[in-house]
Amino acid sequence: MLKKDDKSNKWRARIYFKGKQISMATFDKKDDAKKWEAKQKLALVTNDWQDDKDGDITVGAVILEFNESRAGTISAKTVDTDEANLRLHVPQALARKPIRSVQSSELLALYSSLSKRRSHATVKRIRDSTMSLFNYAVDMGYVPHNPVKNTRVPRGDGRTDKAVRPFAPDEFQSMLAAQRDMHPRYADYVEFLRETGLRWGELVALRVGDVVTEPFDAIIVRRSQSDGYPEKQTKSGRIRRVPLLGNAPAIAARYGEGRKRNERLFTSPTGAQLNNGNFKRALDWAGTAHGHREYDLRHTAATSWLQDNVDIKTVSAWLGHATTQLTLDTYSHHMGSDADTAAIERVRKAREFGA
């Protein structure tokens, strides 16, 4: 099958056997691609076929082809993430190897080495990128199976994963007071994030028309936008309704007043799209946030809802988690059951009686 790549202006010829691609080559001229394709098909008929690459295409060459093949077909952020993971973390010795010769044991050794200096979550993301690379290699006929499937990421002894660390009430209030003195507008956004549990990209993408008042004050979270990338759907792929509690309704009304429904609800003072780096610099985040990350505002919202006895399924829906189990796994240690409360009360009364 011949197809012209509009981006590179080259002709790509693919050879299929029993519904599976077994070879591919790229040419500057269509005639050259046709000749190669005809030669390959004849070899198949006469049982003389042999892959021109003979399994010698290197991991590095497939990485380049993999990155090029996905441009414009999936989100730019995913392409950039995979490109960076593969470029920065696949060692040159592995990149020079024929991809067909790569063994699961080599990849496991790579993940084990990375785990000594990277967090578990980071190494998992690197594994996800190599998984996608080898899935592509299987689809292209470069390898018969994906060796990443037989590997797992060890816990390692490097940097620990960033734990759930919500703000204590006094920490949040002192931070907010300091930030209001510096930048009242952005301090409002901080308070809104804490009350709604939104991700940064979801806050950036909110429109005035996403604020609703019936049957209760809420926002409809439809989209997300990372800094420097186009808008996309939310992380779970679902639209959700999040209640506006505390000062959040007043904040939403303040910044939406007199503006069109399709305008961004929260912007910079000049009306430009928000940028996370500028936002944190304006608030001196490093100096005012008591060592917390901006993402801890989301954790603070979630844990406060749970501590106020909002059920786990509802909290999961408000956060936009893909599953309730994810919410439970993340926040279970911040939950106190009714049984715990009753037991503690019985112990307290028993000690008072004994005294």
Based on the fold, state whether residues 84 and 196 are members of the same structural domain.
Answer: no
Based on the fold, state whether residues 24 and 127 are members of the same structural domain.
Answer: no
CA 214 from chain center: how many Å?
32
Based on the fold, state whether residues 288 and 197 are members of the same structural domain.
Answer: yes
Q: Give the CATH number, domain containing residue 132.
A: 1.10.150.130
**pLDDT, tens only, 158-170:** 444 557 889 999 9
Based on the fold, state whether residues 288 and 195 are members of the same structural domain.
Answer: yes
**pLDDT, tens only, 6-36:** 767 888 888 776 666 667 778 888 898 888 8
Question: How much is the pLDDT for 105?
Answer: 92
In a 3-state reduction of DSSP, which class is residue 263?
A: coil
- For residue 314, tell me if it sits in a domain: no
Number of domains composing the chain: 3
Based on the fold, state whether residues 69 and 192 are members of the same structural domain.
Answer: no
**pLDDT, tens only, 205-252:** 999 999 999 999 999 999 999 888 888 888 888 899 999 999 999 999
- For residue 290, tell me if it sits in a domain: yes
Is-contact 63 95, C-beta < 8 A?
yes
Concatenating the DSSP letter of every residue in 323-355 gives -HHHHHHHHGGG---HHHHHHHHHHHHHHHHH-
Based on the fold, state whether residues 12 and 133 are members of the same structural domain.
Answer: no
Based on the fold, state whether residues 299 and 210 are members of the same structural domain.
Answer: yes
Based on the fold, state whether residues 117 and 174 are members of the same structural domain.
Answer: no
- For residue 234, tell me if it sits in a domain: yes
Average pLDDT, the chain: 86
CA 273 from chain center: how many Å?
21
60 forms beta bridges with none
Backbone dihedral region for residue 258 (phi beyond 0: left; psi -120 to 50: alpha; all else: beta)? left
Is-contact 184 140, C-beta < 8 A?
no
- For residue 256, tell me if it sits in a domain: yes
Based on the fold, state whether residues 23 and 68 are members of the same structural domain.
Answer: no
Q: Give the CATH number, domain containing residue 188.
A: 1.10.443.10
Domain that holds residue 284: 169-303
- Please tell me the least confidently modeled range out of 159-168, 177-186, 291-300, 334-343: 334-343
Q: What is the pTM of this model?
A: 0.63
> Which segments within the chain are labelled E, that is strand?
2-5, 10-17, 20-27, 211-212, 218-221, 223-224, 232-233, 240-243
C-alpha span between 85 and 90 (Å, rounded): 8
- For residue 156, tell me if it sits in a domain: no
Based on the fold, state whether residues 198 and 289 are members of the same structural domain.
Answer: yes
Helices H / strands E in the chain, number of each: 16, 8
Based on the fold, state whether residues 24 and 69 are members of the same structural domain.
Answer: no
- For residue 133, tell me if it sits in a domain: yes
- For residue 270, tell me if it sits in a domain: yes
- For residue 286, tell me if it sits in a domain: yes
Question: How much is the pLDDT for 330?
Answer: 85
Based on the fold, state whether residues 76 and 141 are members of the same structural domain.
Answer: yes
Nearest residue to 3 (alpha-carbon basis) of 67, 95, 53, 69: 69
- With a cut of 60, say whether residue 261 has pLDDT above it: yes
C-alpha span between 1 and 16 (Å, rounded): 8
The 10 Å Cβ neighbour count of residue 288 is: 19
C-alpha span between 254 and 1 (Å, rounded): 59
- With a cut of 90, say whether residue 68 has pLDDT above it: no
Is-contact 227 277, C-beta < 8 A?
yes
